[in-house]
A = this chain, B = another copy of it.
Amino acid sequence: MLDRDIIQNRGFRNVPGGFELRLRNPNYRGVAGSLLDGVEVVVDGRKWEHDVPRITLRGRTVTLDELRAGTGVRWQLDETATVTVPEPGGLAPGVHDVEVAVYLRRPYFPPFVARSVFRATAKRVIVPDAPAGGLRYGVSLYSYSGDMYTSMTLDDAMADIADLGATGIEILGEGNIPGYPSPSPEWIDHWHRLLGDHGLTATNYGSWVDTAMWRDRDLTATEAAEQIRLDLRLAARLGFTSIRPKFGVVSADLDPHPIWREAVERSLDLAQELDIVICPEIHSPTPIRHPVTQAYLDFIERTGTGHFKLLIDTGIFQTAPVDDGHEGIEGKKRPAFLEPLAVPMDDLVEVLPYVHFIQAKFFEIDDTLADPHVPWAPIVDTLVRHGWNGWLSSEYEGRREPYRGRDQVRRQHALLRMLQKEATG
């Protein structure tokens, strides 16, 4: 699907000698290229006149004079036009105010209004390339909650992730797999084809062990192990290298249901056979120095397994509260997991050898790329200094306004990569 906004989120990027942006056709009909009479572009107050940018339609790049002379190109409603603006060195990484004026001639309007102007404005993000080596950048489809299946297909989500220069995709098993737990063979083929098309690697697969699935009794350890094994097998078929089973909890501290140990232990052989790491999630309000985390570390120690490791949700490092509320929770503006837990970096350093995956949870990154809640500078610095080289997977959890997650993920990648560059530089 295309973005509702005329100025698309995808495709805003630097190219040799300038920058590009993508537009959808602002009129209600497609047109021959000769009726597109130029696109004026303004970025952060600097203007490029309507006859300056080159336009790419259906893979052909032309000047305004060429459009006027007739090239056979058309601008369809279901396709974007790429507008290429000359600007040596391109635009700085980060958020820009972008304005366009699209001129379309409409012969069916009286001559004095036939040359129509369609204006649009947007804040759009230039994401710098990821620095080589070290951290690997991914995105969780959780970031696109609300947009997925309403304005984004799986193909769109992958295109977004690839467009911002990330290479990993994290999914929610029961959420992003149609027909879960038994997707059709066609869908599995489709999944692998899309991964290839977009050059993405399947990273982590979020699963659940719903211990309170039944009202009158808890799941047994056997049932819980069956659930984990089902998700391990499905994750393996889709090419994932870790799963995060989210166990039902029995306390406000998120103590997992006690069957977790036996259920995981019964799944370790299969995890080893499939070479998938089972990752319990360390999630606010549970810090690193806490019996829950310690129990996971003890389990690793005791079993000697290489297929059970920690997944860190960066919400635990939050230094300021989040007051946007949370879907499905009423009567309390700020649930416990949105309070700042402010886990110190030293605690992270201590468990880093056991950390397999990081969900880069965040709520908001502003126009200056500042995050008011999560202290990314020390987090990235810690990871770089200690040579951690796993996946940093964007997990946007802020307000679910349409398209907001997509924009915010781009901001986060711009911020994280600039911080990584500083930390390694």
Q: Point out the residues of chain B lying under 8 angstroms from A251, CB to CB.
A: 110-111
The 0/1 profile, CB within 8 Å of B marked 1, for residues 60-84 of chain A is 0000000010100010111000000
Contact, CB under 8 Å: A214 / B329: no
* CB-based contact B328/A116 at 8 Å: yes
| A142-150, A346-354, A363-371, A412-420: which lies at the interface | A142-150
Closest partner residue, chain B, to A69 (CB atom): B214
In the assembled complex, A345 has its CB within 8 A of some CB on chain B: no
Within 8 Å of chain B (Cβ to Cβ): is A258? no
Q: A108: which of B74, B116, B247 is its contact (CB, 8 Å)?
A: B247
Interface residues of A in 286-304 (CB under 8 A from B): none
Chain A interface residue bracket vs B: 35 or more
Binary B-proximity of A247-258 (CB < 8 A = 1, otherwise 0): 111111010000
Q: How far is the CB of A31 from chain B (nearest CB, A)?
A: 7
Interface membership of A113, Cβ < 8 A:
yes
Q: Which residues does chain B contribute within 8 Å of A176, judged by CB atoms? A: 77
Q: Is the CB of B212 within 8 A of A175?
A: no
Interface SS of A by simple majority:
loop
> Nearest-CB distance from A174 to chain B (Å)?
4
Picked from B4, B108, B114, B327, the residue with its CB within 8 Å of the CB of A146 is B4
Bound form: Cα–Cα A117–B117 in Å: 46
Cross-chain contact of A4 among B78, B107, B208, B402 (Cβ < 8 A)? B402
Nearest to A4 among chain B residues (CB) is B150
Q: List 27 A-B contacts (CB under 8 A).
A: A1-B149, A1-B151, A4-B146, A24-B149, A27-B328, A29-B172, A29-B174, A29-B175, A29-B208, A30-B172, A30-B175, A34-B214, A35-B210, A68-B214, A76-B178, A107-B208, A108-B210, A108-B249, A110-B251, A111-B212, A111-B249, A111-B250, A112-B252, A113-B329, A116-B328, A118-B327, A150-B151
